[in-house]
Amino acid sequence: MKIEVKSKDENEIVFIIRDGEVPLVNAIRRIAMMEVPKIAIEDVNIVQNDSAMFDEVLAHRLGLTPLVSNNSAIEGMPLSEDCDCEDYCPKCSVSFTLNKTGPGVIYSKDLSSTDSTIKPVYDTIPLLKLKEDQNVELEAVAKLGVGKEHAKWMPTTVCAYKQYPKITFDEDKEVDYDCADACPRGILKSDRRSKKIKVLDIENCSMCKSCVRASENNYIDVSFEPNDFIFTIETDGGMPPEEVLLKACEVLEEKADKVIEFTNDLK
């Protein structure tokens, strides 16, 4: 199996896996979404809320506010069910306070954290609006969790793969330029001088087959490479995508180790 990076920035990585297998690639996808721990607000104690927003809606908004969850921020923090405390303690949680009086919009930057590294990823997420003299006062407790418990703990906003597209032309047939004109992504370019159709960016092909339907003489065929994949991981900014991938592989490794251990015990 070979892996190469196609593009990478702060919040998104796109890589190509060659000679892979669907079960393995899909296991990594599912674990990256559902089993990589991330931190999110879980409990909210509302002291006062004069705003028009219901307490439950405000708590939900706080839960979905992305918090910095990279390796250095959450290192050593256990999942709350693995901690020896009863509900939460400084080891397995981080507290935030919010105390503001209107008028004005309250943003994510107004949440003050007890841990300088764990804070909202973005400062400008609007949380609620207060009118003159309205007040909001609350304490919020953030804990580690996993996406299979609640979507707020999913580290990925996009975690998907597609099989590598394969475009072939039947050279025994007359060149059908209509298929190039039908491509909505501009991937196919007619070159009437050389009497060919050029494929410009095959990895951008969505395999919609508009080109195949437009070709009356079946000049073009679109399929996919069964063992090659284009994999995209995008996060909400809380964790770098490569950390999500690495942790997903660690979780998969732990699961495989358990199966090996079980098999060894059978001997």
Residues that bind ligand SF4 (CB under 6 A): 167, 182-183, 185, 187-188, 205-211, 222
Tell me if 144 contacts Zn ion by CB under 5 A: no
Give the up-direction half-sphere exposure of residue 103: CA atoms within 13 A in the CB hemisphere.
Answer: 2
Residue 80 C-beta: closest distance to Zn ion, Å: 6
Calpha distance 191→264 (Å, rounded): 62
**Residue 208 touches which of ligand SF4, Zn ion, none (Cβ within 5-8 Å per kind):** ligand SF4
Count of positions on this chain that bind Zn ion (CB under 5 A): 5
Q: Which does 33 bind (CB under 5 to 8 A by kind): ligand SF4, Zn ion, none?
A: none
- Would you say 53 and 156 are in contact if contact means Cβ atoms under 8 Å apart? no
Q: Least separation, in Å, of the C-beta of 186 and ligand SF4? A: 8
What is the maximum span of the chain, computed from C-alpha positions, in angstroms? 79
CB of 229 to ligand SF4, least distance (A): 16
83 binds, among Zn ion, ligand SF4, none (CB under 5 to 8 A by kind): Zn ion
Q: Which of 140, 131, 117 is nearest to 44 (CA)?
A: 140
Q: Which of residues 153 and 177 has its CB atom nearest to ligand SF4 in the complex?
A: 177
**Angstrom distance (rounded) from CA 164 to CA 169:** 17
Residues 75-94, one symbol each (x = binds Zn ion by CB under 5 A, - = not), give --------x-x---x-xx--
- Based on the number of CB atoms within 10 Å of its own CB, is 46 exposed (0-12), middle (13-18) or buried (19 or more)? middle
Partner interacting with residue 211 (select from ligand SF4, Zn ion, none; CB below 5-8 Å by kind): ligand SF4
157 binds, among Zn ion, ligand SF4, none (CB under 5 to 8 A by kind): none
Nearer to ligand SF4 (CB atom), residue 181 or residue 250: 181
Yes or no: say if 243 and 212 are a contact pair by the CB < 8 Å rule.
Answer: no
Q: Which of 164, 160, 158, 165 is CA-nearest to residue 229? A: 164
- The SS3 assignment for 262 reads helix
Q: Which residues of this chain interact with Zn ion, rule CB under 5 A?
A: 83, 85, 89, 91-92
